[in-house]
Amino acid sequence: MTRVFISRDMASVALGADTVAEAFAKAGCEVVRTGSRGLFAIEPLVEVETDAGRIAYGPIGPGDVKAVLDGTHANRIGPIGEHPFFSGQQRFTFARCGVIDPLSMRGYAANGGWKGLDAAHALSPQEVVDAVKASGLRGRGGAGFPTGIKWQTVLDTPAHEKFIVCNADEGDSGTFADRMLMEGDPFHLIEGMAIAGHAVGARHGFIYIRSEYPFAVETMHEAIARAASRIEPFTLEVRVGAGAYVCGEETSLLDSIEGKRGEVRAKPPLPAIEGLWGKPTVINNVLSLSAVPFILAEGPQAYADVGFGRSRGTMPIQIAGNVKNGGLYEVGFGLTLGELVNQIGGGTASGRPVRAVQVGGPLGAYFPPSMFHLPFDYEAFAEAGGLIGHAGITVFDDTVDMAKMARFAMEFCAVESCGKCTPCRIGSTRGTELIDRIVAKAPRKADTVETLPQMRNAGTAARTHDEEIELLRDLCDTMKHGSLCALGGFTPYPVLSALDHFPEDFGSAHVHAAAAE
């Protein structure tokens, strides 16, 4: 019986992988459902096991079974590792994704699984924390805080009870690495969390997954049940979000697990000292926790040897939006934005020129092609007025209206704000109105109260276009520095970057030519 491998990833299923799998099963094949390899242009992808290894074909429809099985199908790719999208990758975290049945304990163990956990159990907690520190791993959720330092704080805080929390509330548009890993290699995340538990002395962990990821929720539930005896005495449970983007912020995520409204907490106290139910809590992103098994299994130096500047190791970069070869590309830091968008991504799917890319989700800056020389690195992006965030890159072609995107950033912030702090709650709504007025070229006129004779200091003339732009910048400044968390604090990134690099869309002359050229 021929064995074929077909992804069960949500993206592959959305493209029809289930009907393809049914067709192969009907033809008498043994169908193994895997995670996704990560290149969606060739999905649904079918890999056929042969004496010469797995031969990939894609995209494949349910009517292509015969041509695939006799090897004559036109979409024959060959061994997937030789495909240009995959040959340049360094897969530390996603090594097994797309290769094995995600829920096969045997497959996981046979492909290097549990090596990190076994290595960690042979070490003292302090030695595990030291290894994570030495690897140079920084939080993959966006902030880039050194993971080892966070773990050290939790280890050093005495308490009867500590927690490991995995932030799998991946709400940023343009990112899907957490989802792919949970669906394609869930034991890997479980192993990372069990290592964290050993390192800081926590016995229980929560994985908080957004409700928009039903496949990941189901896979993690099942994987936890199957791995329970392997990770003892550590225990895990899944908590499902309920559609609030702000719960991806760590403190509001903690409140949500506690069963409250997902409102942001003021820091300090840090969650590492007073986190879930006031107990010391490690809260890390899926990708941070999933980087740990490699570090323990292969040694921190093997991880630190890859990277760029102070950004060590690999980053699973997600290339999305209007792009030809969209997907997940795991590689060491340091590739330039241009290489990622044009060479690896292959430019736009529409075939039109790239006009802008947004890096880091809805709170990340928009960059024009003139900045494509930027290396993918936390510091380089911060210096250029942006952030790499969760490493999602959303590509836009030249039909994009950047004033509309800036307005959307404000609108999104208004929709998703938790309401606790004023700059975010009210600033976002005022920002939306302000951008509407700027685009409509209808500056605000003085109102009835302002024109009263006793209002001597109030302006009575309508604002000019430049004054409205100035006000928008001022509002962004208030939101950036006055908001409690990154939702209000980072919404100015897309707004200001759109304004700086694409002023013509706001009806202004191209004054920031130096930055945009």
Partner 1 sequence: MTENAGFQTVIDRHALPDQRGALLPLLHALQEEFGHIPQPAVPLIADALNLSRAEVHGVISFYPDFHTEPPARHVIKLCRAESCQARGGAAIEGELARHLGVAMGHARKDGQVALEPVYCLGLCAIGPNALIDGRPVARIDTAGVEAIAREVEA
Instruction: Provide the minimum distance between the beta carbon of 321 and partner 1 in the complex, in angstroms, as a whole number.
Output: 4
Instruction: Please select the residue that binds partner 1; options are 158, 233, 259, 268, rule is CB under 8 A.
Output: 259
Residues whose CB falls within 8 Å of the CB of residue 429, separated by 6 or more in sequence, listed in order: 410, 414
Instruction: Fill in the per-residue mask, 178 to 217: x = in contact with partner 1 (CB under 8 A), - = not in contact.
Output: xx-------------------------------xxxx---
Residue 275 CA neighbour count, 13 Å, CB half:
29
Contact between 239 and partner 1 per CB under 8 A: yes
Instruction: Please select the residue that binds partner 1; options are 318, 417, 432, 483, rule is CB under 8 A.
Output: 318
Cα pseudo-dihedral 57, 62, 65, 67, rounded to 10:
-70
Nearer to partner 1 (CB atom), residue 212 or residue 467: 212
Say how far apart CA 512 and CA 312 lie, in whole Å: 33
Say how far apart CA 143 and CA 218 lie, in whole Å: 28
Contact between 397 and partner 1 per CB under 8 A: yes
Nearer to partner 1 (CB atom), residue 381 or residue 396: 396
Instruction: Please select the residue that binds partner 1; options are 34, 251, 394, 497, rule is CB under 8 A.
Output: 394
Query: Two tokens at 303?
Result: 């991880």
Nearest to 165 by CA among 130, 129, 139, 183: 139
Nearer to partner 1 (CB atom), residue 64 or residue 178: 178
Stretch that binds partner 1, among 6-14, 64-72, 382-390, 479-487 (CB under 8 A): 6-14
Contact between 84 and partner 1 per CB under 8 A: no
Quick check: helix, strand or coil at residue 138? strand
Contacts with partner 1 by CB under 8 A: the residue count is: 59
Identity of residue 446: A
Contact between 17 and partner 1 per CB under 8 A: no
Contact between 64 and partner 1 per CB under 8 A: no
Residues whose CB falls within 8 Å of the CB of residue 365, separated by 6 or more in sequence, listed in order: 358, 359, 381, 384, 385, 386, 387, 493, 494, 496, 497
Stretch that binds partner 1, among 48-56, 191-199, 321-329, 467-475 (CB under 8 A): 321-329
Contact between 272 and partner 1 per CB under 8 A: no
Instruction: Please select the residue that binds partner 1; options are 320, 335, 387, 486, rule is CB under 8 A.
Output: 320
Contact between 362 and partner 1 per CB under 8 A: yes
| Helices 286-298 + 177-184 axis angle, to 10 | 60
Got the DSSP string for 305-368?
TSEETTEESEEEEEEEES-TT-EEEEEETT-BHHIIIIIIS-S-SSSSPEEEEEESGGGSPEE-
Instruction: Please select the residue that binds partner 1; options are 77, 365, 395, 487, rule is CB under 8 A.
Output: 395
Q: Are 134 and 300 in contact (CB under 8 A)?
A: yes
Instruction: Provide the minimum distance between the beta carbon of 177 and partner 1 in the complex, in angstroms, as a whole number.
Output: 9
CA angle 343, 344, 347 (to 5 degrees): 65
Instruction: Please select the residue that binds partner 1; options are 57, 176, 378, 502, rule is CB under 8 A.
Output: 176
Instruction: Provide the minimum distance between the beta carbon of 405 and partner 1 in the complex, in angstroms, as a whole number.
Output: 7
Contact between 225 and partner 1 per CB under 8 A: no
Nearer to partner 1 (CB atom), residue 311 or residue 358: 358
Say how far apart CA 4 and CA 33 lie, in whole Å: 9
Contact between 13 and partner 1 per CB under 8 A: yes
Contact between 137 and partner 1 per CB under 8 A: no
Identity of residue 383: E
Identify the DSSP state of 169: -
Contact between 303 and partner 1 per CB under 8 A: no
State which of positions 330-359 bind partner 1 (CB under 8 A).
Answer: 349, 358
The binding site for partner 1 (CB under 8 A) comprises 10-11, 13-15, 40, 43, 170-176, 178-179, 211-214, 239-245, 256-262, 277, 318-323, 326-327, 349, 358, 361-362, 392, 394-397, 400, 405, 408, 412, 415-416, 418
